Structure 1
């Protein structure tokens, strides 16, 4: 009788272990099946250097830019591959390979094909680099540069605020935030659909 009870308990425990393994395995497969797309927001955390922790935008051409790692093309890659690539690039700056964690903070938004006539017209603007809230924004048309800076939450301490760029197709418009804040005409420049605001990283003695 005791032997039969022990055998029953063993089978119950074994079934439970197998069930948990299947559930965890399914979750892992689901995570690996997602591939990064332009417009996604990734959360990057480096255990050895919290100052590198940030949210980054995957630009329309499928790239991200991270201090000490440079620019990487990651569109179409699974999150795990991006994580390994970042760790490899950052290794040169650490005594031991750093622990890098990458997750998808926000998926790229899809705009509806049709809008109600009463809704205000929106345009898509991308913000990348050293902004406090980089990402893809849907903002009303006629939004100016200064309003866009407010929407992205200002700049990080790494930002080169005198060398901000507005990229429109093949054209690059330099934006000096200090001059804009002082009232230069550039503050009233209106944004257009597809504009990209790039906030570069500050140089060592800048």
Structure 2
């Protein structure tokens, strides 16, 4: 019987200990909901959502950083900030009320780069392309070239790490005929593709 009682005790105690260890290690994230209780002043008790900037707000305290901290660290910070408003340090409890919604990795938006298409494109402007996108793919996303485009004088303008601008020229007529390469040039974030207007007899 004593052995059975010990086993039953372990069944009930271990999940509690595991939960406590998990709570100590957990780092608060934006979107989490924290339950805040102040024993000395029930009017301060509330549920506080962690805002996108990682902050929570509480009367008498204002905004404090919660994201990236443990529950114990948030609790200590709140206690210290509330202390001047009480004769003795208040008793503050911070617990996790609800976890932020976790978006599965398969549903997260794929990273993109900003590329800009200027001039004689059908839809010039900023184009969001995937890393590794090529010159031709970006032009396709910009709706292709207008009938007035100078296809032989397309430019790719890129600013290097030193701040100097590099200009690369492409003949899209030759690329389309397979007589020249360059269409598979990989783009970088911030690249600008300039498509000049065709001259009168060009």
Query: Given the two structures, how large is their TM-score scaled by the length of structure 1?
Result: 0.44
Query: Given the two structures, how large is their TM-score scaled by the length of structure 2?
Result: 0.45
